[in-house]
A and B are shown apart, each in its own frame.
Chain A
Amino acid sequence: MNMENRENSDKVITACLFIIILLPVVFLIKQRIEQAPKIEVTQAEKQNPNKTAAFNACLNQGLEYYYAKEYEKSIESTKKAIALNPKNSSAYNNLCSAYNELYMWEKAIEACSLALKIDSNFTLAKNNLNWAKNNLNQ
């Protein structure tokens, strides 16, 4: 009886683990397939791989500076990234976050507005914009 109970509990654990794995995996696969055209490197980027690499490097550098709380350097790097690709909403959002940390609310609002012009569903940019607007009003 004990052995049987143990086997049943093993099966329950296996089923739970399968469900826990499947849940995010379905969403990840769905997005990876649906967004394939967005995700794949665009033709322009393919023709200019160095520029894409430089953009990614600047954007990542900006994030690194941001995590190290060196917000001015973060702004500098992110601006370089924007110069290389002015149509990336994440770059504007990162710029906005760094301005928010420096309490430069007006510039933060400007950056996040640009991010939302490119991608109106960008929730984090909306949050950052609201944060900056609320602080400016105070």
Chain B
Amino acid sequence: MNSFKKILNNRFFFPVLVILWGIVSVLFFEKLPANNGLGWDGYRYALIVQELLLSSAVDNYTVLRIFPPSLVHSILKLLYVEPSAAHIINSFHVLNTLSIAVAAFFFKKCLAQFSISPENQLIAFVLLLFNYAIANFTYYYPVMTDSVAFCVSAIMLYCYLRKQTLNLFLLTIIGAFTWPSLLLQGVLLILFPYENNYPVKTFNSRIRFGFSLFSCVYLFVLIAYFVFYSGQDNEVYGVPKIDQNLIFTSAIGILLLFYFLPQLLFNKAFYYPVSWFTKRTLISLVTCAVIVVIIFVAKDWLNYSNRQSHYYNLQHQLTTSMVFGMAKPLISVVSHSTYFGSLFVLLIVLWNPFTKEVHALGKGWAFFLFINLFLFGLKTESRAIINVVPWLVFGLTIVLNQKPRNKWFSLAIVCFNILSTKMWLSVNYGSANGGLDNRGAALFPDQGFFLNFGNRMSEKMWLIQLGLTIAFGIIIYFLIKTNEYGKPRKL
């Protein structure tokens, strides 16, 4: 047992495990066949790898994803390797595996800084890595920027906790050209640096209610405008439209989520003027201004032909969030659980202690989590929030570390995550044209791939996965509340 703990404590254990998993996945697991294995977004990135700025795929949105394909381009050039589709796919396999391994390395260092027990470290790594997003999708559909974004975010976590402003500055620049929301994340983390033992003083109930009410009103206005007034709906092939029979249930579901979300901001100490007007804040403000100027100048300079994309539009992002999030009741939660495993169910069940931990970790952390989840949390293509996952897992691990362990609790998490990886499911995408169901979602075999994305999930798969998520939630709740998990450990 002690030798197992020793292995767990080794900082290279998880990175090596990731590399081994990467090799096995690349050699033996299924690959997306669409577009010679490049996929759809991947096709654009492949064009950038081949031609960089001369590529027709460069526009004002893809330019904000240009870092990973440019890195692959430069490495292939240095190695005199022709950028064929096969070479590009292999390069992204290597890049993704290394990115996840590096993320694991830095995440482990963060856990060590907070003296997390080896058992809880294991749970943290199961939550972080053993889910569909990291263990499966990364290798099934490699030509993407998700893993690099995940890695940048994990290193940001490390640099934030170590108060390394220069490294955060560099990571924000890399992040802004990898995953657009990393710019916002980096700026907030630089602006509000980490402070040890941040004071925690909760608001009174009236102010707390005011925050929650504001959040719900904001969401209600958006739903009323986009869904009920403008009547916007999905017009994309393979994406089901809003289920009109369940529209009110869907609205109540997301309003409920938004009622509890502002709890992240309920620390009175965040708003003390003395904590805002300091010399350090001024320096951080100047640093952030420099980053934003660099990024916007570089963005326009790189997108020389001034091609515009409708993705580069906050209204478009909000509309799709709203419309996709309203498609079915709790579709966002189902989608996040399908994509990231137990993490989101645990967050819902442990939301109170989690937010209290976030309050103690400082303004930067709380504001960045809130804004990301507020703007993109409803997106049913759960990939959109991959950058917040290391932060959520870390906060949750601190909560778990303060409670006595229970083997059934750990087992439930491991089982749900094994289920969510879908390693046991043969995707066989595109082997036959399964057609669409009556709501417009692709049927099996293609549904084998699309069941992992809330916006493309069929009705049947939504129902099954909703059932599994609720069942897991109930099990976890009772394990925490009524079983020995909640009892103090025997001395």
Distance between Cα atoms of A6 and B167 in the complex (Å) = 14
**A123 touches which one: B83, B166, B167 (CB < 8 A)?**
B83
A113 interface residue per 8 A CB criterion: no
Given B56, B77, B302, which contacts A32 in the complex, CB threshold below 8 Å?
B302
CB–CB A17/B73 < 8 A? no
Q: State the Cβ distance, B176 to closest chain A Cβ, in Å.
A: 11
A120 nearest CB across to chain B (Å) = 14
Contact partner, B174, options A21, A59, A97, A131, Cβ 8 Å: A21
Q: A10-B162, A21-B173, A90-B55 are in contact. Are A123 and B305 (CB under 8 A)?
A: no
Cβ B170 vs Cβ A31 within 8 A: no
Whether the pair A27, B52 counts as a contact (CB closer than 8 A) is yes
Decide: B36 and A127 in contact? CB cutoff 8 A: yes
Q: Which residues of A contact B43 (CB under 8 A)?
A: 67, 97
Contact B70 A24 (CB under 8 A): yes
A10 and B56 form a contact (CB under 8 A)? no
A23 on interface, CB distance cutoff 8 Å: yes
If over half of A's interface residues share one DSSP class (helix, strand or loop), that class is named, otherwise mixed; here it is helix
Query: Provided the pairs A27-B74, A39-B53, A69-B237 are in contact, do residues A32 and B304 lie with their beta carbons within 8 angstroms?
Result: yes
Residue of B nearest to A17 (CB): B170
Residues in A neighbouring B155, C-beta threshold 8 A: 13
Contacts of A38 in B (CB 8 A): 54
Q: List residues of A whose CB falls within 8 A of some B CB.
A: 6, 10, 13-14, 17-18, 20-21, 23-24, 26-28, 31-32, 35, 38-41, 56, 59-60, 63, 67-70, 88, 90-91, 94, 97, 122-124, 127, 131
CB of B292 closer than 8 Å to a CB of A: no
Q: Which A residue sits closest to B155, measured CB to CB? A: A13
A13 to chain B, nearest CB (A): 5
B164 located at the interface, meaning its Cβ lies under 8 Å from any Cβ of chain A in the complex: yes
A21–B170 contact, CB under 8 A?
yes
Write out the residue numbers on chain A whose beta carbons fall within 8 Å of the beta carbon of B77: 27
Q: Which of A20, A35, A69 is in CB contact (< 8 Å) with B54?
A: A35
Chain B residue with the shortest CB-CB distance to A67: B40
Given A68-B236, A69-B238, A124 contacting B50 (CB threshold 8 A): yes
Quick check: B36 and A131 within 8 Å, CB to CB? yes
Residue of B nearest to A36 (CB): B304
A26/B53 in contact, CB under 8 A: no
**Inter-subunit contact B302/A23 (CB<8 Å):** no
**9 interchain pairs, CB-CB under 8 A:** A10-B164, A14-B164, A17-B167, A27-B73, A32-B53, A35-B54, A39-B53, A60-B308, A68-B237
Task: Pick the contact of B159: A13, A69, A88 (CB < 8 A).
Answer: A13
Q: Does B317 count as interface, using CB distance less than 8 angstroms? A: no
Which chain A residues lie closer than 8 Å to B237 at the CB level?
A: 68-70
- Residues of B near A39 (CB, < 8 A) are 53-54, 304-305
Contact (Cβ within 8 A) A24 B55: no
Closest beta carbon of chain A to B325's beta carbon, Å: 21
A contact residues around B309 at 8 Å (CB): 60
Taken together as a complex, chains A and B put the C-alpha atoms of A60 and B47 apart, in Å, by 14
In the complex, what distance in Å separates the CA atom of A40 from the CA atom of B305?
8
Chain B 230-274 near chain A by CB (<8 Å), digits 1 or 0: 000000111000000000000000000000000000000000000
Minimum Cβ distance to chain A for residue B224 (Å) = 28
Contacts A10-B162, A23-B71, A123-B84; A31 near B52 (Cβ below 8 A): yes
B75 is an interface residue with CB less than 8 A from chain A: yes
C-beta contact mask, B22-56 vs A, less than 8 Å → 1, else 0? Answer: 00000000000001100011011011001111111
Cβ A24 vs Cβ B166 within 8 A:
no
Contact with A along B168-206 (1 / 0, CB 8 A): 001101100000000000000000000000000000000
Give bound CA distance, A28 to B173, whole Å.
15
Among A24, A26, A97, residue most surrounded by chain B Cβ atoms (within 10 Å) = A24
In the complex the two chains form, is A97's CB within 8 Å of B35's CB? yes
Contact A28 B305, CB 8 Å, known A14-B170, A17-B171:
no
Tell which of B46, B53, B173, B308 has the most Cβ of chain A within 10 Å.
B53
